Structure 1
């Protein structure tokens, strides 16, 4: 049986991701959620909290540009060979209390853009260029952090931590008590240092377009 906590965190992430990416609302399915992304190489994605659902769900899918995001390690996700398995990912969360303020190092500055429940944090260079950025979406008491990236020329300067702190504080200011995200293997190390907790491994798979 899948832990209710995992289902709750997955639900938070699915809705926030859809809001962040501007897709239609997620559709509840018997085994998880469907998001109609609508891009040529990413037509639709299914998010499945139970890895045992992956095989049965995949058996009925054949259209290129179909994606699966499954809570579970790759060895638990049984798919046929036509599915391409992606690099490991991690569903993570953090409680938004006692958040530290992280000041960007000289000569960088950070600004918060947008209004309402969708906000973007951007770390600027002295000439106004973007050195690092990320987005947070608040839905009720949960927030989702998305599209966090640092320009390769500005890495290893703590800018990712600056972005995460700014987004987390913006979410707390909007009433969120928990934030969730899906991290890459490299991102997981940074987020754990910032106090984030792994909730589940995520296996991503797709049918190539």
Structure 2
């Protein structure tokens, strides 16, 4: 079992308020309880260790729509192993990590923007408000001991390329380090990968997301 995957799962369920993960022979089952996201299955293997038999076994056992499958391998590899009713997210994800050092310091807030940080339920959230009061950027982090999962980073289109993504990330990693975390973990889309790479995050594995919509 990949320790990075376990760390991501443990932090993600705290960040999203999901049910505690159920450990399976092949990974984890997480209940979300949402119509569009009832349950997710996360395979613990990464890269070349992902086995076709395990993916097929998990995918074939799903019968209800709204179930997601997370596999840490390329979509081109995973796609032939999924049966009818599975739709792969076209945006290729990545699992990324970064060591958090004592130098984790927040960035400066641009003029006329407002930064707000608060913690509740084990999750630290950051909001950046635009000069007119609208949402400019946001994000959250869930420390779970030595690791912390950064999650739901977002910058509004009208406020991009102003350093707000960096501001949010540095604020979150600083908060995580203050709570004892030594390693950061996140799952990203192509839109965020360049930002994270510029801040020292490195790719551990590709991430393919597939949603079950029901068989004909």
Superposed CA offset, 1:71-111 (max 9, x none): 11112212124210012100001110122431122221322
CA gap of 1:128–1:114, structure 2 versus 1, over 3 A, is farther
Gaps of 5+ in 2: none
Kindly state the Cα deviation for residue 115 of structure 1 after the two structures are TM-superposed.
4.4
> Which residue is 2:83 aligned to?
80
- CA–CA separation in structure 2 for the residues paired with 1:12 and 1:44: 19
Q: What is the root-mean-square deviation of aligned Cα atoms in Å?
A: 1.5
1:11 CA displacement:
0.6
Deviation at 1:156, TM superposition (A): 1.6
Separation in 1 of the partners of 2:211 and 2:106?
Answer: 39
Shift of 1:54: 1.4
Counterpart-to-counterpart distance in 2, 1:196 and 1:137? 17
Q: Of residues 8, 21, 28 in structure 2, which corresponds to 1:26? A: 21
Q: Secondary structure at the match of 2:213?
A: coil
1:191 aligns with: 196
Aligned to 2:38: 43
- Alignment of 1:174 with 2:175, yes or no, is no
Structure 2 distance, partners of 1:49, 1:25, is 16
How far off is 1:149 after superposition?
0.5
1:102-127, Cα deviation, whole Å (9 max, x unpaired): 11222213221124731101112234
- Taking the aligned partners of 2:86 and 2:119, their CA distance within structure 1 comes to 38
Normalising by structure 2, report the TM-score: 0.89
Query: Partners in 1 of 2:83 and 2:195 — Cα distance?
Result: 33
- In the alignment, is residue 90 of structure 1 matched against residue 94 of structure 2? yes
Q: What is the distance in 2 between the residues matched to 1:22 and 1:118?
A: 10
CA contact (8 A) 1:41 1:208 kept: no
Q: Say how many residue pairs are matched.
A: 204
How far does the alpha carbon of each residue in 1:35-59 deviate from its partner, in whole angstroms, 9 at most, with x for none?
A: 0111111110000023322112111
Tell me the secondary structure at the aligned position of residue 49 of structure 1: strand
Whole-angstrom CA distance in 2 between matches of 1:82 and 1:25:
27
Q: Distance in 1 between matches of 2:193 and 2:159?
A: 19
CA contact (8 A) 2:40 2:69 kept: yes
Moved over 4 A (4+): none
Pairing 1:15–2:10 present: yes
